[in-house]
């Protein structure tokens, strides 16, 4: 795939994140306050789309080299808790940072520098689990071709169902996208970039920058600014720019939230975007443990807030 095509895909991913308001914290808040699972299901569905894509790529021998996985270890649970706590302090997960910047909320520009510092400091003293010797999961090496037909049928049925339920409402230029449309686009764009460049999420790029491996980024380094430009374009064309100039308190909160999320990404390893788009579809146990731990911390915080604000008597 050409450089222009890869950059265009990164622009589209940023656009989709902004238009869909994609955020794990917002999804869990919806569960607690509204007893609705729409956003959380959409995030998990993105993992399913990537999983199906990996199966098809493997079946047609187009699957690129996979990074080595990690065994189940306690670091992942603690790192996931830090991701959740950092997202709470920050006011949103790493997806939300893209969406907020795309809406002109400039205080969230402090989150990536905080992430860089948190990752760099933690990496210097915290040991992480060793990578597993096999880069390709066993289940992906040995699967029946019947899975291919199942994946194709399931994808077609799901798309038909969503199209029927949302007839006339799914437009790429729409001011606010449905969570499912946004996460489907994010998952498919991730797969296309994966085939072209290997595993890529923006927290992975930040991690490599924090580790001093920026010379290894190549084209992937250009996708990071493209992602944010896509989000800015999405916010501008939707009339969602709020131009909220940062105040010291919000800047400090975003920086500290990024700091904790960077530290958590070292321990997992990976940010919640790489968990949803890569670790969880590959069925890595540490990715599922980290995501569950992150969700537990966020849900506990929202529950405690509801108990605290509940009228006495």
Other residues' Cβ atoms within 10 Å of the Cβ of residue 167: 8
Q: What is the pLDDT of residue 154?
A: 87
Condensed to tens digits (0 to 9), the pLDDT of residues 32-57 reads 888 888 899 999 999 999 999 988 88
Mean pLDDT calculated for residue range 204-223: 78
Which of these, 183, 195, 172, 209, lies nearest to 273 by C-alpha position?
A: 183
Between 312 and 202, the more confident residue is 202
Q: What is the pLDDT of residue 216?
A: 63
Q: What is the pLDDT of residue 123?
A: 87
Condensed to tens digits (0 to 9), the pLDDT of residues 281-299 reads 988 888 999 999 999 999 9
Structure token pair of residue 91 = 């006011």
Q: What is the pLDDT of residue 90?
A: 95
42-65 core/surface letters (b: 16 or more CB in 10 A; e: else): bbebbbbbbbbbbbbbbbeeebee
Cα 33 to chain centroid, rounded: 23
If pLDDT is split at 50, 70 and 90, which confidence band does 213 have? confident
Condensed to tens digits (0 to 9), the pLDDT of residues 114-151 reads 999 999 999 887 755 555 555 567 777 776 777 788 88
pLDDT at 231 over 90: yes
Q: What is the pLDDT of residue 174?
A: 59
Which of these, 67, 209, 73, 202, lies nearest to 128 by C-alpha position?
A: 73
Condensed to tens digits (0 to 9), the pLDDT of residues 164-182 reads 766 555 555 556 688 888 8
Which of these, 205, 53, 207, 66, lies nearest to 131 by C-alpha position?
A: 66
Question: What percentage of the chain reaches a pLDDT higher than 90?
Answer: 42
Q: What is the pLDDT of residue 170?
A: 52
Mean pLDDT calculated for residue range 175-204: 87
Domain of residue 234, residue span: 3-309
Q: Report whether 232 contacts 90 (CB < 8 A).
A: no
Structural domains in the chain (count): 1
Q: What is the Cα–Cα distance from 49 to 184, expressed in whole angstroms?
A: 7
Torsion of CA 78, 81, 82, 85, to 10 degrees: -160
Structure token pair of residue 138 = 């066993």
Q: What is the pLDDT of residue 167?
A: 58
The alpha-helical segments, DSSP class H, found in 142-201 are 146-165, 179-197
Condensed to tens digits (0 to 9), the pLDDT of residues 68-110 reads 777 788 889 999 999 999 999 999 999 999 999 988 889 999 9
Condensed to tens digits (0 to 9), the pLDDT of residues 261-274 reads 999 999 998 888 99
pLDDT at 258 over 60: yes
pLDDT at 218 over 60: yes
Q: What is the pLDDT of residue 199?
A: 77
Residue with tokens 């989000």: 231
Q: Which residues contact 278 (CB under 8 A, 6 or more apart)?
A: 50, 190, 199, 201, 270, 287
Q: Report whether 50 contacts 201 (CB < 8 A).
A: no
């Amino acid at each position: 795939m050409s450089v222009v095509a890869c950059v265009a895909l990164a622009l589209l991913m940023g656009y989709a994140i902004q238009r869909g308001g994609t955020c794990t914290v917002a999804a869990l808040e919806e569960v607690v306050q509204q007893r609705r699972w729409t956003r959380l299901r959409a995030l998990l569905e993105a993992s399913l789309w990537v999983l199906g894509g990996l199966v098809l790529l493997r079946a047609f021998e187009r699957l690129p080299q996979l990074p080595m996985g990690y065994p189940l270890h306690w670091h992942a649970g603690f790192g996931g808790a830090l991701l959740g706590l950092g997202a709470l302090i920050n006011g949103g997960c790493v997806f939300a940072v893209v969406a907020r910047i795309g809406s002109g909320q400039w205080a969230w520009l402090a989150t990536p520098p905080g992430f860089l510092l948190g990752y760099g400091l933690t990496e210097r003293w915290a040991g992480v689990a060793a990578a597993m010797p096999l880069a390709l999961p066993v289940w992906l090496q040995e699967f029946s071709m019947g899975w291919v037909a199942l994946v194709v049928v399931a994808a077609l049925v799901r798309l038909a169902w969503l199209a029927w339920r949302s007839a006339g409402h799914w437009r790429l230029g729409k001011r606010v996208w449905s969570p499912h449309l946004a996460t489907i686009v994010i998952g498919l764009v991730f797969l296309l970039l994966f085939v072209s460049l290997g595993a890529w999420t923006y927290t992975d790029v930040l991690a490599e920058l924090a580790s001093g491996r920026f010379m290894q980024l190549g084209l992937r380094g250009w996708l990071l600014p493209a992602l944010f430009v896509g989000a800015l374009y999405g916010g501008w064309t939707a009339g969602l720019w709020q131009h909220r100039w940062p105040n010291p308190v919000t800047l400090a909160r975003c920086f500290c939230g990024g700091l904790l999320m960077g530290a958590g990404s070292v321990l997992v390893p990976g940010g919640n975007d790489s968990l949803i788009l890569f670790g969880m579809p590959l069925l890595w146990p540490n990715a599922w443990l980290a995501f569950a731990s992150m969700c537990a911390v966020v849900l506990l915080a929202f529950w405690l807030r509801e108990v605290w604000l509940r009228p006495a008597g």
